[in-house]
Amino acid sequence: MLLALQNFSAKMIDRLTPNDFLTELRRMFDSSKLSDGSNVTIMMKHHDGRDGEKPKTWKAKKHAAKVKKREAKKNEAKKDEAKKDEATKDEVKKESFCLFRARFKKQKIRCQVGQNESAEFRITLFRHILLAKMDSLKAQNTPRLRRLTV
């Protein structure tokens, strides 16, 4: 039982600090070179800290429209309070950040980097790690086209 828990924790690691993410990424690249045909997938996503709405089916949309009409009648008195709340939300803006995810076989790691740290992190990621670990790329063999002389 304990062994199964250790294997599960090795597959999905919670959010790492940027330095820990880079060291784990190096380990993934090293282990991918040793195994045959395995890829390391890296994904970056800009995120502003807000979650988007989930898509609804047409029945749910129809029901939501009815509920919205009912709530609009009830909430006419609360409009002033809502405007005050929106003004305070605009004043306190969340810092946008980038999510970095990497996957190798069944192992997944992720990292959250703030906006002010993002440029330094990308430089270290792409210059030092990716360029150093991409030495086994093969050149494409493209046939040259011959000119026809008439």
Contact between 97 and 115 under an 8 Å Cβ cutoff? The reply is: yes
Q: Helix, strand or coil for residue 145?
A: coil
For 10-50+94-134, the fitting CATH number among 1.10.3720.10, 3.30.420.40, 3.40.50.970, 3.30.720.10 is 3.30.720.10
| Structure confidence at residue 55 (pLDDT) | 64
Nearest to 46 by CA among 114, 102, 128, 126: 114
Whether residue 87 is predicted with pLDDT greater than 60 in this model: the reply is no
CA distance 87 to 28: 46
Calculate what percentage of the chain has a pLDDT beyond 90. Answer: 10
3-state helix, strand, coil in the chain (%, to 5): 50, 15, 35
Instruction: Band the pLDDT of 8: cuts 50, 70, 90.
Output: very low
CA distance 125 to 28: 13
Domain boundaries of the chain, sorted by first residue:
10-50+94-134
> What are 44-64's pLDDT values in tens digits?
888 876 666 666 677 777 778
| Structure confidence at residue 5 (pLDDT) | 40
| Structure confidence at residue 86 (pLDDT) | 64
pTM assigned to the model: 0.56
CA distance 1 to 23: 29
- Give residues with Cβ within 8 angstroms of 43, minimum separation 6: 100, 101, 102
Quickly count helices (H) and strands (E) in the chain: 6, 3
